[in-house]
Amino acid sequence: MKLAKLDIAVISIVVICLIGVGIAGVLSNPALQSPRVGYLYPAFGGIQNVYVTDIDNPDNQIQLTDTGYGVFDFDFSPDGRWLAFAEKNPDNIATLRLMDIPNRRVVELVDCVALLAYCTTPAFSPDGSILAYQRSESTNGNYGLSRIWLVDMTSPNYETIPLINDNQVVGHSPVWSADGNTLAFYSADTTQPGILIYDFIAREDDGVQLRFIPSTHGSMGTVSPNGQTLIFPEIVKRGDQLFSHLRIADLLEKEFRAFTDPEGPTDDVVAQWSPDGETVAMARRYTDDRWTMGHQLYIRSANADDDELTPIAFSERYNTSYFRWNSDGTQLVMQRFPLQNEDGTPNREARPEVWVYDVETETATRIIADAFIPQWASQ
């Protein structure tokens, strides 16, 4: 039986529509897209907004937010659908907003302007059901020390509550463990500086939910995927100079020890635990004859007794001190700063750059220049 010309035309239109629907489905579903990274751009000379780029096609840059006064910081949900960002306003207040990325719909997540609060540093839990953020509240026009608050992302109105009801427990820079039970943050209490570890379900050995790790460095560490171990930087004085080294805390055994040698010729400023729980990426600068102008990136075993390092993306021209693993530990997105030009002269017009390192191929790819604080947008 032959098809009439009209039937063929109808079938052709249906096929085209189905293909279009399929393409739209891929474009609207981050899980079906190739890996992308998000970042703030430009770093200098403009209003910072959130952009994303396909790492396999770095020239394909897409602007997500369009704010008049800029974005302070941001985070993507684990499934890549949602973008939480701290948007600045003309009164120098940062409020939290939420974008449904596939349709670009933006809603108020926490109306910090109405609350007379300054809200930043959103951090999604591993399952995306909770968002932690830091919030400073205004008293007589002055913002106090920040506290950690939570947003219930499953509630219709995004209900928000403090992590800890005691308003004397202050802190910043929330970091989740991969199992979602542990939330760590740096205590901003100047009389007792350190890191606070909060377990939503208390440990069976002692029933304690909140633990304190003394540290004077002022920055957060990295929590192991199972939430049982913490690696964090600490300040050490050698001669007349201050350096950093890394310490490791076993939260189950309540033991502390050096992760890197505090007296060694090194300056170790930050680490990130790999999702496999077996390896750690860390930024180090040697102070002996191996000296480089900037910190270089290394991978080592999470075992404190095994201090063998493997350099990655090594370049004396660059400083690397901000990096994040993807979900399966095969790639690192990093922020690098070109301290020198290719001829070795100082780079007086340097801008931060976003790079991706692939562990398997041992290759580093520059994604974009003049951008900073990169995060994985989809993996």
Q: What is the pLDDT of residues 102-159, one digit of tens each?
A: 999 999 999 999 999 999 999 999 999 999 999 999 888 789 999 999 999 999 999 9
Q: Is residue 280 part of a domain?
A: no
**pLDDT of res. 253:** 85
Domain of 16, in residue numbers: 1-32
Residue 211 has phi, psi (to 5 degrees) of: -120, 155
- Residue 245: closest CA among 226, 232, 230: 232
Q: Is residue 134 part of a domain?
A: no
Evaluate if residue 218 carries a pLDDT over 80.
yes
Query: Average pLDDT of 301-318?
Result: 91
Burial class of 283 by CB neighbour count within 10 A (0 to 12, 13 to 18, 19+): buried
**Cα–Cα distance for residue pair 73/122, rounded to 1 Å:** 8
Q: Which helix (H) or strand (E) holds 89?
A: none
CA 48 to chain centre: 17
Q: Is residue 340 part of a domain?
A: no
**Cα–Cα distance for residue pair 76/61, rounded to 1 Å:** 17
Q: Is residue 66 part of a domain?
A: no
Evaluate if residue 24 carries a pLDDT over 70.
no
Q: Is residue 20 part of a domain?
A: yes
Cβ atoms within 10 Å, residue 46: 10
- Residue 268: closest CA among 304, 236, 228: 236
**Cα–Cα distance for residue pair 293/316, rounded to 1 Å:** 7
pLDDT tens digits, one per residue of 151-192: 999 999 999 999 999 999 999 999 999 999 999 999 978 788
Count structural domains, the chain: 1
Q: Which two tokens stand for residue 275?
A: 């999702």
**pLDDT of res. 254:** 86
Query: Average pLDDT of 23-52?
Result: 78
Residue 32 DSSP code: G
Q: How far is CA 161 from CA 123, 237, 253, in A?
A: 15, 40, 31
Confidence grade of residue 3 (pLDDT, cut at 50, 70, 90): very low
**Cα–Cα distance for residue pair 150/84, rounded to 1 Å:** 13
pLDDT tens digits, one per residue of 341-378: 999 999 999 999 999 999 999 999 999 999 999 999 98
**Cα–Cα distance for residue pair 102/94, rounded to 1 Å:** 24
Evaluate if residue 20 carries a pLDDT over 90.
no
Q: Which two tokens stand for residue 207?
A: 């029933």
**pLDDT of res. 29:** 53
CA torsion 287→291→295→297, rounded to 10°?
Answer: -110
Q: Is residue 235 part of a domain?
A: no
Least confident of 4-8, 98-102, 268-272: 4-8
**pLDDT of res. 188:** 78
Q: Is residue 16 part of a domain?
A: yes
**pLDDT of res. 133:** 98
Q: Is residue 21 part of a domain?
A: yes
